[in-house]
Each structure stands twice: as C-alpha cells, then as structure tokens.
Structure 1
Amino acid sequence: MAQQAYATETDNGGSGPERPGARLRSLLKRWAAGWRDRRIWRRGLITAAVALVLAVVLAGHARIPNRIGNLGSLTETFLPWFGLLLPVLLVIALVRRSATALIALVVPVCVWLNLFGGLLFDKNGTAGDLMVATHNVNAENADPAGTARAVAASGADVLALEELKASAVPTYEKALSSTYGHHAVVGTVGLWSKYPMSDVRAVDIRLGWQRAMRATVATPSGPVAVYVAHLPSVRVKLEAGFTARQRDTSADALGEAIADEKLPAKILLGDLNGTMNDRALRAVTSQLRSPQGAVGDGFGFSWPASFPMARIDQILVTGVEPQSSWTLPETGSDHLPIAARVKVDTPGS
C-alpha cells in the first residue's frame, strides 16, 4: 500500500523528480505573462534612470570637473570598467520585466561600444620594421636579471625600462648586453637599442630629479626620436581624492619637450601613470597617438600585473605608422611590459 501511495503521489506531481521542472515551467509562464500587461512601461523606472545616468557619464566624462579631488581624471582612468554595469542593468530589467528599462539601456550600450567597442577585437598585424617595448621593472624587483631576459626575449629592437634602481642598473646592463649593442641610462629610466643612438639627453619634467630622457635611434628606415618617461605616481586618498598635481605638471613639461622635437618621427615609451582617456595627459596625447586603439589586441591593461585594471604604461607615436600592439607576459614587476610594431618611413630614408 505504501508503494502504491508513493506511485500515486508521484503521478500527481506531488514530490516526484518532475516537480522541479514543473515549477520552472510555471515560473517561466508567470514571467512571460508579465510582459503582456501594461505595467511593463511603469516598472523599472529607477533602473532606466540609472542607465541614462550611466550614458551621461560615459558620453560626458570630459565635463566631469577635476576641481573636487580630480574626480574627472579618476573617472577617466577606469572608464572602460563602467561597462560592467551594463549586464547588471540588463538582468535587472529582465527580472523586473520592464520595457522602459530595456529601451533606456540601449543608450549606454551604444555609447560604451562607440568608445571602446573597437578594443574588443584583436587587430594585430605582422607588418612593421621596428618593434619597441617598454616596462616599468619596479624598483623592488627581486629578479632584475630574469625580468631583463624576459623582455629581451620579446624580440624588441628598442627597449625602454623605467623605475631603475641605481644598484640594479649593472644587473640590467649585463643581462641585456648580448641583445642590445647600444644603451643609455638617465636617472631612473634607460633605453636599450639594437641600432646606434645619438643625442642622448635628459628631459626636464619639473621633478627635481631625472625620470625622462630622449635619444635619436638610427633605424635602417631613418632616424627616430625616442622618448622615455616615468611620470609621478598618483594616489587615491579619502581626504583628498585623486591626487595627481605633480603628475599633471610633469605631463605638461613632457608635452612641451615633444612639441619642440625637430625630428618628424617620434615615439614615447614609458609609465605615464595615466590612461589615454585622462584629460590631464592632454599635453602629450594631443600630439601622439596610441597604437592600441587602432591596431591593438584588446584593452591592453598593464597595471597591476596580477589583475590588470588600467593601461597606464604607454607607447605613443607620431610620424611612424602603427602596425600592432600587445602586452607581454608577466615578469617580476607589478606592471606588465607592453610592445608595439611600427613602420618607419621618414623623409630621406
């Protein structure tokens, strides 16, 4: 009798294995029915408002003032990550069965794709006659020789290193000597090249110590002015916000030096402690372009190495044609190295 009762209960859907499926079908039917009533236009108004605010922030980030804690620059540093809110809002809109929220969500999706959609695809090519790379090696790097060998193995023709500790410079020089026949170190930055270098000099970025340099690299396709820079770090403090005044002052000075450069082909390599979206770097970014946006491989985030969240290490060019750009594998530093291929076609080459 017990077995017969159990079978009857199962057949009726009381507690048998088909019951969870029936419950799911019931939930889906109720959810689908919710789209057929008029409340779909009244539900989710808050979600719709959040979506429109997000669109305004994405489209108008340049108008967010820096007067209060450099809020504008802070927003622009992590601007791509605002896209993570889009799937969250989509799920909320679907759960709430809100047509208003879904329509409103189209606006920030379009704005985000316009800003960053091109970075979702690998546009790397194989052309280019000059490969350059840059790496903030971290002054506290426990394995400078290993880091040097790793970046040299990338095949870069010209390599810039930043945050060079004086005591570690001989280690880097020794590790790189077999690959690069020419190099120069100025303060805490250095440049290694397979091609002859001349007119090497420090660049004053108004710090009181040397963290920037320039050199003429005699590539087979013509001379290129190569700049290496490590702009001051920025900090996020509760009482002061995004503090970057020293970085901004140095960026302006670096921009002036690049503007005064006589050679038409220019490449800037270094840790700028800012992204291409950060308006504080406009003195530099208004003159040079990043290969990452045109021929890069994804977003190319370079910091922190363990979980990259922003591309603050930059390769910027003018007078040469970018062909590809990518990040290199992690080393003993807290930054990822980045590399790019360019085509040098200077007058008279």
Structure 2
Amino acid sequence: MSALVLLLVVIGSWVPGFVGTAAAAVLPWCGLALALVAVLALFSARRVLLVILLPALVWALAIFPSLPGFGAAPSADAAPLTVVSQNVRAHSGGAAASAAELAGHGADVIALTELDADSLTAARDALAAEYPYSYAIGTVAVWSRSPLANAQPLTLGLDWRRALRVEVQTPAAAVAVYVMHAASVRPGHQQDRDTMLSGIADAVASDPAESIIVVGDFNAASADPALGAIRSQLDWVRPTDGTLGMTWPAALPLARIDQVFVRGLDVQSSTTQRAGNSDHLATVTSVSVRGGDSDPAP
C-alpha cells in the first residue's frame, strides 16, 4: 500500500494545477520514503522489493531533471559574473543585513524580492557605496557593480509589478537579467502564480538577448509542472554543491522554490547561502559571460 501511495504522489508531480504543485514539493522526500521501505523489506519480506521497484523507477525519472549538476570550467576569454537572489521577507527588518552579507561574498549583481518601502530604503543605503547602479519596481529590485541599461518593469499578465528586466553591461557583453517574485500558492488560489510563470516564459521566448539569467522566488518547486514553459526556453541551473538546493524555509529547507534559469551562459557554480533573517536562503550563481554577444534589444 505504501508503494502505491508513493507511486501516486510521484505521478501527481506531472499533473498540472495544485496537485502537481503539491506533489512536486514532496517529490524529493519520496526517495527517502522509498529507501526506508526498501530497508524494512530487507529484514521482513524481500519480495516487497519487487513491489517498490516500479515506484522507485518512476521517482527516479521524475526527480532526474532536479538533481545536482557540475559546474563548467572558467573560460579564459569570458568574464565571470556572480548573481545572488533572495526573498528578504517583507516587514522582517532584515533587508539591510541580507544585502550587506550578500555583498560581502563578492556578488556582482544582487537581486532582492518581497521588499516593502522600508526594506528597500535600508537595502539601498547598505549597497549604495559598492553597487552604484540599481533599479527597483514594486517589491523587486536589483543592484549591480556594472552599469545597467534598458530597465523595464514587467507585469507578466497581472495588474501589478512584481518582476523586472535590466541589461547588465559586463566587460565581456551585455547580460539580460530578469528578477521576479511569483504570486503565492494556496489551495484554490494559484492562477496568478501560473499566469506569472507563463508570462516570464513568454518574455524570455521573445527576448533576442544571447545571454539571459532569470532569478527570483518562483513559489514553485523544481519539479513543478508550472515551470515546464520556462524550462523549454532556458536551462534550469542545477546546484553544483551536491545538494538539491533547497531554499525554503531557511530554518529547515524542505523545498527549492527560488529558481535560476540561464541561456547563453556557462554556469561555473550554483549554491545557496543564509543571509539576514529571511525565511528564504539566497541562491548564489556564478557564470561565465562570453564575449562578442550582440546587445540585447529593449
């Protein structure tokens, strides 16, 4: 019976809507449950191992796209770029601490989401000296050591602004950076999130930029079917630290809902980091920017 339940959960992660969203969140932990059942079977009824073989195979196929990866070796003719992103939790009073800690680790671009007016001001004050270029709209903002160009607010199909696009003018080439904070999900209320995820996929699909990185709080686990559209347009950045890159909740991360996607960039490393008192870990992604890219269109 337990094997059947696990099989249903795994298959559910391929179903669009709330079922798929919920199943994707618990999908990584189904592997632990399967391992526990297998261990118990070794000491009680080994024939049960045959029963869990199918759920284990289906789980492996479902989880494979979300498994850790390996970073590419730095290229001699490419410029390094480190982009960090964190949901700093509105009204937590920790935006300044998050910004300072992330800057202290040498980030070139810092993206923060779920900013209220006070936390935006605090982050600006903390980053002004080292990150002279910035752009903010709604609850999202980005700071950069390199100049920014063609900054744009994005609604992504909704009537409020929780996303942006800028072009970071690195020494090698311009990189289009998208920052988003997807709407929340709860039973019966996930259409806004799905609309935003579809909207960001449409935006990058029509973006002629050769180098793109998308970061932020997607409110969707790595295997969520709602990420299918953007996965078809960009490469999902796999954690390179040997983990699944869980980001939430920070005290005991159980799901990776803060995502990173790229196109035209070589990922050197990707990991997570605690910063401030947010309930999200930050994503830290280092890429190589190849020279000779054409400038992204506005």
Both structures adopt the same fold (TM-score exceeding 0.5): yes
1:308 offset after TM fit, Å? 0.7
C-alpha change, 1:56 and 1:346, in structure 2 (3 Å) is farther
Cα-to-partner distance string for 1:129-151 (whole Å, 9 max, x where unaligned): 11111010111222332121111
**TM-score scaled by length of structure 2:** 0.88
1:114 offset after TM fit, Å? 4.8
Cα-to-partner distance string for 1:49-89 (whole Å, 9 max, x where unaligned): x435534643x3455363xxx21221122211111211331
**Does residue 218 in structure 1 map to residue 166 in structure 2?**
no
Q: Does the aligned pair in 2 maintain the 1:134–1:269 contact within 8 Å?
A: yes
Matched to 1:292, the amino acid is R
C-alpha change, 1:160 and 1:51, in structure 2 (3 Å) is same
The separation in 2 between residues aligned to 1:302 and 1:140, in whole angstroms, is 19
Give the equivalent residue in structure 2 for 1:258: 204
Unmatched segments (≥5 aa) in structure 1: 1-45
Q: Does the aligned pair in 1 maintain the 2:172–2:289 contact within 8 Å?
A: yes
The separation in 1 between residues aligned to 2:33 and 2:291, in whole angstroms, is 45
Q: 1:321 aligns with which of 249, 259, 266?
A: 266
The separation in 2 between residues aligned to 1:197 and 1:303, in whole angstroms, is 30
The root-mean-square deviation of aligned C-alpha atoms, in Å, is 2.4
Q: 1:138 aligns with which of 89, 107, 113?
A: 89
Unmatched segments (≥5 aa) in structure 2: none
Cα-to-partner distance string for 1:215-273 (whole Å, 9 max, x where unaligned): 1111112111101110101114xxx4xx3111001111222111121211111011111
Q: 2:151 aligns with which of 192, 200, 206?
A: 200
Whichever of the two has the greater Rg, that structure is 1
Give the equivalent residue in structure 2 for 1:81: 29
Give the equivalent residue in structure 1 for 2:110: 159
Cα-to-partner distance string for 1:158-199 (whole Å, 9 max, x where unaligned): 111001111222211110112212111111110111111000
Give the equivalent residue in structure 2 for 1:32: none
**TM-score scaled by length of structure 1:** 0.76
The separation in 2 between residues aligned to 1:347 and 1:77, in whole angstroms, is 40
Secondary structure class of the residue paired with 2:47: helix
The separation in 2 between residues aligned to 1:296 and 1:110, in whole angstroms, is 25
C-alpha change, 1:155 and 1:65, in structure 2 (3 Å) is closer
Q: Does the aligned pair in 2 maintain the 1:124–1:323 contact within 8 Å?
A: yes
Which structure carries more relative contact order (alpha carbon 8 Å, separation 6+)?
A: 2
Give the equivalent residue in structure 2 for 1:288: 234
Give the equivalent residue in structure 2 for 1:231: 182
Bigger fraction of residues in helix? 1
> Matched residue pairs, number?
290
C-alpha change, 1:220 and 1:297, in structure 2 (3 Å) is farther
1:43-192 correspondence runs (5 A): 46=1, 50-51=2-3, 54-55=6-7, 57-58=9-10, 60-61=11-12, 63-64=14-15, 66=17, 70-96=18-44, 98-116=45-63, 123=70, 127=74, 129-192=80-143
Matched to 1:170, the amino acid is T
The separation in 2 between residues aligned to 1:77 and 1:314, in whole angstroms, is 14
